[in-house]
Amino acid sequence: MKKNKRMLSIMTVITCLLVITTVALLFLIGPWKKSAETKESLSNGKDPTNVTTTLTEDSSETPPSITATEATSSTSEESTTEPTPAPTDTPTPTETPTPTETPTPSPEPTATPEPTATPEPTESTTETTAEPTTVPETTPEPTKTTPNPGTSYDLSGMVIVIDPGHQRHANSDTESVAPWSDEKKAKVSAGTKGVSTGRPEYEVVLEIGLKMRDVLQGMGATVIMTRTSNDVDISNVERAQIAVDNNADVFLRLHCDAGDSSSSRGIGVFVCSRGELADSQVKWGNWLGNCLAEATGSKYRGCDASTRYSGLNWATSVPSFLLEMGFMTNSEDDRLLSDSDYQMKICQGVAAFCYKMKQNR
């Protein structure tokens, strides 16, 4: 009996030890498994991309520390759950190496070569096209103003008195310089002489005057010459009287100028500063000078009004002009005045002026 009792107590102790051991094992394994499950649910439930982004954006944060705290908190809850050991789930930290997608920014440098420069050439082309349009506008002008050498004007109905100045032999007798003056002046002088041609003025002006007569008559004008020869004796007052007696629409006295300087050249016009037409004489004189300048290409020096010339002072009742066609003291002007083509240009300029005077009547 003693032996049985002893065996029974030993068996009881062993059984108790087994039970205690089993319970102890259950308590130990249970919480460990719980922590492993929470780890897994954490990584699976969250968006993996979010995890990786937080990882890469803030390298200082270490996600393992966060799971460690969660694990510790969960351990307290773990005791109630199943004690079944399942430590095989440990490989959860393997999701961290996913940040391989980060190198996104580089591949888009192709957008830089924009072809923005192309619209500029269109602007330049429009500019160039605009310039030629202005050119045709200027071209029609010359036909209006410049009378071509062959241009014909209708001078019908006009009476034009041409007085080639001077004569071969001067007449030093005197006559009144003006109707309103007692001052006396030589009747007529011989004029100047060409510095290069050597020709006398009276000869050159008659040559041009005769051509002018033919030109103006050809355009229908009635032309009266004060002289057609160099061998005459007609005073300046007598020549003016011819213009007055014929009621000239234009009384034109042809002369060549002489200057102290051989460089002086160009066209000059002189008119009377007194009389019923005095207010218009300078304006008309400028018409004459400009017509001559346009026809010949020579410089117009201007119109001077005075009472210096007896041949004008005695013809104030008609438009009267003393035209200096050029300087015989200038070699180039002198040469031109004896040039046939240039003489015709002078005649054309006078014709243009007479036509302007006709339209002004």
Q: Name the site residues for Zn ion (rule: CB under 5 A).
A: 165, 191, 255
Q: How far is the CB of 191 from Zn ion (least distance, A)?
A: 4
Residue 287 or 309: which CB sits closer to Zn ion?
A: 309
Q: How far is the CB of 201 from Zn ion (least distance, A)?
A: 5
d(CA 314, CA 310): 6
Residue 227 or 255: which CB sits closer to Zn ion?
A: 255
Q: How far is the CB of 341 from Zn ion (least distance, A)?
A: 23
d(CA 184, CA 170): 16
Please report, for residues 33, 221, 277, 306, the alpha-carbon distance to residue 249 in angstroms, rounded to integers and kept in the order given.
137, 10, 12, 21
Pairing label, strands 222-225, 267-272 = unpaired
Nearest residue to 195 via CA among 258, 254, 255? 258
Q: How many residues does the chain have?
A: 361
Backbone φ, ψ for residue 326 (5° rounding): 160, 170
Residue 255 or 358: which CB sits closer to Zn ion?
A: 255
d(CA 344, CA 339): 9
Nearest residue to 98 via CA among 62, 39, 47, 61? 47
The distance in angstroms from the start CA to the end CA of the chain is 179
Residue 255 or 345: which CB sits closer to Zn ion?
A: 255
Task: Find the residue with minimal CB distance to Zn ion.
Answer: 255
d(CA 349, CA 149): 9
Please report, for residues 152, 186, 306, the alpha-carbon distance to residue 166 in angstroms, rounded to integers and kept in the order given.
30, 12, 20
Q: How far is the CB of 235 from Zn ion (least distance, A)?
A: 14
Q: How far is the CB of 173 from Zn ion (least distance, A)?
A: 18
Residue 294 or 324: which CB sits closer to Zn ion?
A: 324
Write down the residue that tokens 């780890």 correspond to.
Answer: 39
Radius of gyration of the chain (CA): 62
Q: How far is the CB of 170 from Zn ion (least distance, A)?
A: 11
Q: How far is the CB of 127 from Zn ion (least distance, A)?
A: 56
Nearest residue to 207 via CA among 336, 356, 351? 336
Contact 236, 170 (CB under 8 A): no
Residue 83 or 311: which CB sits closer to Zn ion?
A: 311
3-state secondary structure of 192: coil
Residue 191 or 319: which CB sits closer to Zn ion?
A: 191
Q: How far is the CB of 218 from Zn ion (least distance, A)?
A: 26
Residue 153 or 202: which CB sits closer to Zn ion?
A: 202
